[in-house]
Amino acid sequence: MKKFIRQLTIFSLIFIMTFGVGFSSQKGINVQAATTQTTTTNDGKLRKNGVLFTGISDNKYYKRGVFTKYTGWKNWKGNRYYLKKGKAVTGWKYLRDYSGSRTKYKYYFKKNGRLSKDLFKTFGSSYKKKRMKLELNLVTHNITFLLYDGKTNKYDIPAKTVVCSTARDGRSTYVGNHYLSKGTARSWFIYKKSNPWHYYQWGVFVKGTRSWIHSEMYRGTSNKKLIASTYNGLGTNQTTACIRVQAGNAKLIYDIAKTNRYSIPIRIYRSSNKGPFGKITLNDTTGKIPGNQNYDPTDPAFKNKR
């Protein structure tokens, strides 16, 4: 019996050594097939999964496998880079915007070369307290947050651009230079002149106008009573006079009004210029939501549902 057990054990070991390695190797092949293989061959060209690579890898720009000393803006996999002689810049850089205007801005690029399009997210809540202004373009339906640059004495540091909706008649969101009325900031703005009343999260009034900046419309003072069609209409003229933004961005403006010690100017204007980050639409964020969805996907209260 003991002899039989020894023979069985030896046979098992031989089987594992003969076939087990093969199984392990096969699994390894499957894993490798699902992982990008980056190689540089004898011809000096970069390949990924055997294909000549075009794009940005390790902060360098390649075209058909060849490192290319291109200078200018490049979009790669949904991210913006600025290349100088083929290498992605990092840190703070003064550059003309990539929408085609001649205006220069002070942009921030992360260590991986990607342009930061949200300095509040990149650097944290301390940036909500910096001196800034808002610019609302009625043509693009965008609000851009511009931070003040002490070196140039200009508001030329783009922190974020968000999509908004304005007056449906095209006139009642007044063009001009205004200020946020910081003392009016409230977690719920209720418009009582309508029947039924209209409810909005995170409202701040704009001095010298008829406009409040706030979220889309709700059926009551509950963030689970969103009217989805008002969310899906962001980026259009759909209000009486007010300025609607996503709940997350309304909360950002509310926080700025509550914590920032500076006066916050807001310029409302019309221009075909798309701004420092280009035109931002709803599709650049969450896209449209189902008609029966009762919450805003950008609402900080629902961040775990994103």
pLDDT tens-digit readout, 207-250: 999 999 999 999 999 999 999 999 999 999 999 999 999 999 99
One-letter amino acid identity for 23? F
Q: What is the pLDDT of residues 73-98, one digit of tens each?
A: 999 999 999 999 999 999 999 999 98
Please provide the DSSP assignment of 42-78 as one string: TT--EEETTEE--EEETTEEEETTEE----EEEEETT
CA distance 199 to 238: 15
Provide the pLDDT for residue 41: 63
pLDDT of residue 34 exceeding 60: no
Percent of the chain with pLDDT over 90: 82
- What does the DSSP 8-state code read for residue 16? I
How many CB atoms sit inside 10 A of residue 247's CB?
Answer: 26
One-letter amino acid identity for 305? K
Please compute Rg for the chain using Cα positions. Answer: 27
CA distance 132 to 234: 24
Q: Where are the domains of the chain?
A: 116-300
Task: Answer for the pair 162, 245: CB distance below 8 angstroms, yes or no.
Answer: yes
For the chain, the average pLDDT equals 89
CA distance 48 to 39: 6
Give the H or E element holding residue 304: none
Cross-sheet strand order for the sheet of 51-52:
38-40, 46-48, 51-52
Provide the pLDDT for residue 56: 95
Give the H or E element holding residue 168: none
Total count of residues recorded for the chain: 306
Provide the pLDDT for residue 44: 82
CATH architecture for residues 116-300 = Beta Barrel (2.40)
Residue 107 has which token pair? 């942009």
How sure is the predictor about 306, in pLDDT bands with cuts at 50, 70 and 90? low
How sure is the predictor about 42, in pLDDT bands with cuts at 50, 70 and 90? low
